Amino acid sequence: MADSLVKNILRTLAQQQRPATVAREPAQSSAVDQTMSQPAPTRITQAATAELSGYPPVDRWQHWTEYDPKAWPQKISRSYTLVPTICFNCESACGLLAYVDTSTLKIQKFEGNPLHPGSRGRNCAKGPATLNQVYDPDRILYPLKRVGRRGEGKWKRVSWDEALDDIAARIRRVIVEKRLTEVIYHVGRPGHDGIMEWVLPAWGVDAHNSHTNVCSSSARCGQALWMGYDRPSPDHAHARVILLISSHLETGHYFNPHAQRIMEGKMAGAKLIVFDTRLSNTASLADEWIAPWPGSETAILLAIARHLIVTKKYDRTFVRRWVNWEEYLRHEHPDLPLRFETFEAKLEELYARYTFEFAAQESGVSVEQIAQVADYIAQCDGRLATHTWRSATSANLGGWMVARCLWFLNVLTGSIGKEGGTSANVWDKWVPRHPNMAPHVKVWNELTWPQEYPLSFYELSYLLPHFLKEQRGKIDVYFTRVYNPLWTNPDGMSWMEVLTDESKIGLHVHLSPGWSETGLFADYILPMGHGAERHDMMSQETHGGCWIAFRQPVIREALRRLGRPVDDTRKANPGEVWEETEFWIELSWRIDPDGSLGIRKTFESPYRPGEKITVDELYGWMFENHVPGLPEAAAKEGLTPLEYMRRYGAFEIRKGVQPTYDQPLAESEVEGVTVDPETRVVYTKKPAAPSSNITPVPYFQPDPERGRPIGVQLEDGSLVSGFPTPSRKLEFYSATMRDWGWPEYAIPTYVHSHVHPSKIDRERNEAILLSTFRLPTLIHTRSGNAKWLYEISHKNPVWIHPSDAQRLGVQTGDLIKVVTSIGYFVDRVWVTEGIRPGVIACSHHLGRWRLREDEGGKLSTALVELAPAGESRWQMRQVHGIKPYASADPDTERIWWEDAGVHQNLTFAVQPDPVSGMHCWHQKVRLERAGPDDRYGDIFVDTRRAHEVYREWLAMTRPASQVSPNGLRRPHWWLRPFRPDLEAYHLPGRHPGNGHIAVHAVSASDHME
Ligand code: SF4
């Protein structure tokens, strides 16, 4: 039964692969020609053979005709212009094709763009649901300014000019008064590449704050420790073994582009191995579903590594050539011969304790299954495609070690930068340089980069409320941009407390396409466009290849094609919805209207000196100058690069895997270099040429005497670029960890998670809550109010194993109280064998709420009462769920569901990993049957307790002021977005190069006493 289900799914997926090729066949005619003009019986036959396998041919995108399906059985033709854009509903950046009705200028539907190299014409449900978002009857169409107290729910409509002038004047004051850490721009998933790297440094502020530390910091940290680059790019389609620590087929990172290639790999014979404690859809399709005790993943990965080592089934040539084993021996065993064989012997010793039996004991997975998986990997022949994002890496104390040990398997099998293996993201991603880029800023923001986390991967964004409560600083202008920290982050009530305190946050500007819980506590809500209403450029490492895609406001492009061009995206969008590219240019211009602050020059046209750049000039300039191959491809069709991107929406820069680490240094680079006699690192004194591809890579400050490291000399004498690590090799041994306070983690090892079995007492009904799993159809706030998506998914019950349900005396549908360290939530249970005993799970994509009946998306939120329940305590209760209502969309009166889910994240304390800074999402909880006073959706939180838990985790850190070996805040080579100038890296009162504090200065760590 299960087998035939799998075969059916595979067959369906195989059929879905055909369109991309068929679509380009010139002989294929439109749906109108092929289907609707024939008698009914014939139509059915032809539709089955032709219509289902085609996209409209590209040469007819400008003028496309098909019958209106709603007019059936009448044959009413509709004319469309098909405009490519890219989806904004997750980070995958899949291509969309908007069908714009040329008579009404309405978007009829979205389909996939078959020319997009990442998504190849396919989308998940969230792509076509962009239509719901554009025509959402509850959306905010005009700038709003609060008129009551913050959070009181009183708004007035204001003009864009009023909002821009007010915000610009305030930012200008901050800059003029040199309060350069008092502007913060807090972004959710960016959905664009490079633009804020262009804008924020021009203002001279260290303002960037991402969501990365509630998402991917640990995965990045583990991978960067090995290779300098912080993200993988697996070539699933050509792999022999695919190892996923996440549920990529339905929800994992680069979900749709990865999913289709994982299935291609599987159909070509690859073994699919999935680590997931919960039976995800992906796990159900795996050859081996590994369901470990949460946090034990590293033990299994190290047992597999040991198996490869002791059976000598690793790629000796690759390891010898590319791993920094000499550095390891030199530092840890200076008395032993500096020979590869010595290292091999040491490897056996180091990993001797990670037997299959040890891993089985830690994880609860059988010895036989671990051995089977190890055997598959041993036979991968250099074609092991791996990926982890969120999942175990984002959930556990030491989660970064999961990513590090996963990459260890790629290293041992030599599966790096090879077809069917795994590459670094930088090799497969392209971010063109923007014009007039400002230099690095000379300021460091300790509200986002506190001294306690010298090795954090990205900003400690979710600790901001605690930092503000500790009076480490204050914020004058705070942007939240397509981000909803009050709802998405842990500990949302602490966010609400600081958002309502104007002494901590002076002005809160919320940029969003729709209502959000955070927006309720803003001073301005500025309506921003969805995926069909804005310009952006994106590139993602979706497979072995490299591409760039263009998001565009589709009505604006349709108007241009119709000979009615507009010069401002607001003129094409609903209401006064804007796009961010134009917004940031205009805001920056108003901050520095006369150019006296030096900001304006960044935003001047490269074509019209002294004039404000237009959005067409910005993207046109980048496409002309910094996308390899695009100008030539455009010229072949008689188009400019911008016209090419408007027409096709994407450009394939390169097919296939192409690593750079083994590239010989160019002759021009080799001239005058020096090679360090011990490390074999190659240095040059020549300055680096600015790169066209500004995808973030580690940066090495030039050594005053030797210059810049640019490569490494291998054993055979060749000079190659290597990896951007201090050793220029893959770093099995991290001198960075050793030198920055964590010598015990200098090599890949096993870290006990905060939810290790020894810390969970099941007799007391303690359990682990897996809170991070996604639903395929929703994505945090961004999918809010998309009616098709909420009709499909509107519940997030607590998954519980039958044995636990029996012990607690609950059945499916009963209420359960899940008690966390700072409060509790009440939800229904779903009893299922799809979860391990002792573990429960609840999706974090539901539980949206609003405080007032008419303020917020009614399709996706419950109306709640939120009230204080004593000092620092908050109680939330649902008044009602989702109900039918009258609106411009008749569908809202047809709503049949009531559930809006339960918001669990409010009840989670922050749990920052002391190394990566990642919030460790797994929760140790206690389960109780709900009492007579408990109701579905009830939430209780104590924010004083939340602050205590924050301090407990903070106490685990090893601050830069104590461990920095060179007086810097963090290793200069360690990736940091929006990297300031080296000058800003110096710890207060410490001089570069010395290892002690010269002057005691007030700093973030002083507030910890
Ligand atoms: S995976 Fe779905 S939501 Fe994400 S970009 Fe692709 S179509 Fe959009």
Q: Is the CB of 94 under 6 A from ligand 1?
A: yes
Q: Is the CB of 260 under 6 A from ligand 1?
A: no
pLDDT at 833 over 80: yes
pLDDT at 418 over 60: yes
Instruction: Look at residues 693, 707, 621, 627 and name the one whose alpha carbon lies nearest to residue 660.
Output: 693
Percent of the chain topping pLDDT 70: 93
Contact yes or no for 898/846 (Cβ under 8 A): no
Q: Which position has the higher pLDDT, 42 or 511? A: 511
Contact yes or no for 916/221 (Cβ under 8 A): yes
What pLDDT, on a 0 to 100 scale, did the predictor assign at position 5?
41
What tokens were used for 623?
A: 């496409």
What tokens were used for 959?
A: 């601050």
What pLDDT, on a 0 to 100 scale, did the predictor assign at position 52?
55
Helix, strand, coil: what percent of the chain each, to 5?
35, 20, 50
Give the DSSP letter string of 324-350.
-HHHHHHHH-TTS---HHHHHHHHHHH
Query: Residue 773: which pLDDT band, with cuts at 50, 70 and 90?
Result: confident
Q: Where on the phi/psi map is residue 436: left (φ > 0), alpha (ψ -120 to 50), or beta?
A: left
Q: Is the CB of 376 under 6 A from ligand 1?
A: no
Closest ligand 1 atom number to CA of residue 124: 2
Instruction: Look at residues 789, 804, 841, 1000 and name the one whose alpha carbon lies nearest to residue 247.
Output: 841
pLDDT at 702 over 60: yes
Compute the distance between CA of residue 477 and CA of residue 509 in angstroms, rounded to an integer: 7
Query: Residue 189: which pLDDT band, with cuts at 50, 70 and 90?
Result: confident
**d(CA 108, ligand 1 centre) in Å:** 19
**d(CA 86, ligand 1 centre) in Å:** 9
- The residue to mutate among 87, 116, 131, 788, having the most atoms of ligand 1 within 8 angstroms of its beta carbon, is 87
**d(CA 51, ligand 1 centre) in Å:** 24
**d(CA 775, ligand 1 centre) in Å:** 13
What pLDDT, on a 0 to 100 scale, did the predictor assign at position 703?
87
In this structure, the strands spanning 650-655 and 545-551 are antiparallel
Contact yes or no for 919/490 (Cβ under 8 A): yes
Closest ligand 1 atom number to CA of residue 127: 7
**d(CA 774, ligand 1 centre) in Å:** 13
Query: Residue 251: which pLDDT band, with cuts at 50, 70 and 90?
Result: confident
Q: Using only C-alpha atoms, what is the Rg of the chain?
A: 28
What pLDDT, on a 0 to 100 scale, did the predictor assign at position 674?
96
Closest ligand 1 atom number to CA of residue 96: 7
Stretch among 26-35, 165-174, 286-295, 516-525 having the lowest mean pLDDT = 26-35
Closest ligand 1 atom number to CA of residue 126: 3
Mean pLDDT value across residues 465-484:
97
Compute the distance between CA of residue 643 and CA of residue 619 in angstroms, rounded to an integer: 11
**d(CA 612, ligand 1 centre) in Å:** 34
What pLDDT, on a 0 to 100 scale, did the predictor assign at position 1006?
27
Beta bridge partners of 927: 818
Instruction: Look at residues 538, 275, 280 and name the one whose alpha carbon lies nearest to residue 387.
Output: 275
Tell me: the pLDDT tens digits for 627-654? Answer: 999 999 999 999 999 999 999 999 999 9
Stretch among 12-16, 76-80, 507-511, 621-625 having the lowest mean pLDDT = 12-16
What pLDDT, on a 0 to 100 scale, did the predictor assign at position 719?
97
Query: Residue 248: which pLDDT band, with cuts at 50, 70 and 90?
Result: confident
Mean pLDDT value across residues 838-859:
94
Query: Residue 991: which pLDDT band, with cuts at 50, 70 and 90?
Result: low
Q: Is the CB of 92 under 6 A from ligand 1?
A: yes
Q: Is the CB of 255 under 6 A from ligand 1?
A: yes
Mean pLDDT value across residues 314-334:
98
Mean pLDDT value across residues 898-911:
97
Mean pLDDT value across residues 907-912:
98
**d(CA 579, ligand 1 centre) in Å:** 20
Residue 705 phi/psi, 5-degree rounding, is -95, -40
Sign of CA dihedral 397, 400, 406, 411: negative
Instruction: Look at residues 912, 958, 954, 955 and name the one whose alpha carbon lies nearest to residue 743.
Output: 958
Residue 722 phi/psi, 5-degree rounding, is 70, -160
Closest ligand 1 atom number to CA of residue 779: 3
Contact yes or no for 903/939 (Cβ under 8 A): yes
Query: What 8-state DSSP symbol labels residue 38?
Result: S
Q: Measure CA 729 to chain center.
A: 27
Query: What 8-state DSSP symbol labels residue 182?
Result: S
Closest ligand 1 atom number to CA of residue 255: 1
**d(CA 663, ligand 1 centre) in Å:** 34
Tell me: the pLDDT tens digits for 103-142? Answer: 999 999 999 999 999 999 999 999 999 999 999 999 999 9
**d(CA 247, ligand 1 centre) in Å:** 15
**d(CA 839, ligand 1 centre) in Å:** 30
Q: Which position has the higher pLDDT, 472 or 31? A: 472
Q: Is the CB of 89 under 6 A from ligand 1?
A: yes
Q: Which amino acid is at 911?
A: Q
Stretch among 689-703, 710-724, 823-837 having the lowest mean pLDDT = 689-703
pLDDT at 978 over 50: yes
Query: What 8-state DSSP symbol labels residue 734?
Result: -
Residue 888 phi/psi, 5-degree rounding, is -65, -15
What pLDDT, on a 0 to 100 scale, did the predictor assign at position 779?
87
Cβ-based neighbour number of residue 322 at 10 Å: 25
What pLDDT, on a 0 to 100 scale, did the predictor assign at position 689?
85
Contact yes or no for 138/859 (Cβ under 8 A): yes
Exposure of 64 in the CB half-sphere (CA atoms within 13 A): 24
Q: Is the CB of 360 under 6 A from ligand 1?
A: no
What tokens were used for 168?
A: 């610009």
pLDDT at 455 over 90: yes
Mean pLDDT value across residues 175-197:
95
Compute the distance between CA of residue 945 and CA of residue 931 in angstroms, rounded to an integer: 23
Percent of the chain topping pLDDT 90: 87
pLDDT at 992 over 60: no
Tell me: the pLDDT tens digits for 155-175? Answer: 999 999 999 999 999 999 999
**d(CA 574, ligand 1 centre) in Å:** 23
pTM of the predicted model as reported, rounded to 2 decimal places:
0.93
Instruction: Look at residues 238, 353, 369 and name the one whose alpha carbon lies nearest to residue 305.
Output: 353
Q: Is the CB of 914 under 6 A from ligand 1?
A: no
Q: Is the CB of 882 under 6 A from ligand 1?
A: no
Compute the distance between CA of residue 633 and CA of residue 647 in angstroms, rounded to an integer: 13
Compute the distance between CA of residue 900 and CA of residue 717 in angstroms, rounded to an integer: 64
CA-closest residue to ligand 1 atom 1: 256
Tell me: the pLDDT tens digits for 265-277? Answer: 999 999 999 999 9
**d(CA 581, ligand 1 centre) in Å:** 21
What pLDDT, on a 0 to 100 scale, did the predictor assign at position 815?
98
Q: Is the CB of 90 under 6 A from ligand 1?
A: yes
What pLDDT, on a 0 to 100 scale, did the predictor assign at position 704?
87
Contact yes or no for 606/436 (Cβ under 8 A): yes
Query: Residue 54: which pLDDT band, with cuts at 50, 70 and 90?
Result: confident
Q: Is the CB of 124 under 6 A from ligand 1?
A: yes
Q: Is the CB of 673 under 6 A from ligand 1?
A: no
Place of tokens 């803003």: 522
pLDDT at 181 over 90: yes
Q: Is the CB of 789 under 6 A from ligand 1?
A: no
Query: Residue 783: which pLDDT band, with cuts at 50, 70 and 90?
Result: confident
Query: How far, CA to CA in Å, does 740 sit from each of 56, 74, 457, 744, 830?
Result: 57, 73, 14, 11, 46
Closest ligand 1 atom number to CA of residue 119: 6
Q: Under 8 Å CB-to-CB from 44, ≥6 apart: which residues?
A: none
- The residue to mutate among 94, 96, 116, 778, having the most atoms of ligand 1 within 8 angstroms of its beta carbon, is 94
What pLDDT, on a 0 to 100 scale, did the predictor assign at position 998?
30
Helix and strand element counts for the chain (H, E)? 33, 34
Exposure of 289 in the CB half-sphere (CA atoms within 13 A): 16
Q: Is the CB of 127 under 6 A from ligand 1?
A: yes
Query: Where are any strands of DSSP class E within 53-113?
Result: 64-67, 77-86, 95-101, 107-112
Instruction: Please list, residue by residue across 389-425, b when 16 or more beta carbons sit within 10 angstroms of its beta carbon and e when fewer do.
Output: bbbbbbbbbbbbbbbbbbbbbbbbbbbbbbebbbbbb
Q: Under 8 Å CB-to-CB from 915, ≥6 apart: which residues?
A: 221, 398, 400, 453, 455, 456, 742, 745
Query: Residue 13: which pLDDT band, with cuts at 50, 70 and 90?
Result: very low
Give the DSSP letter string of 498-527.
HHT-TTTEEEEEEEESS--TTGGG-SEEEE
Q: Is the CB of 549 under 6 A from ligand 1?
A: no
Mean pLDDT value across residues 427-442:
96
Length of the chain as a residue count: 1009
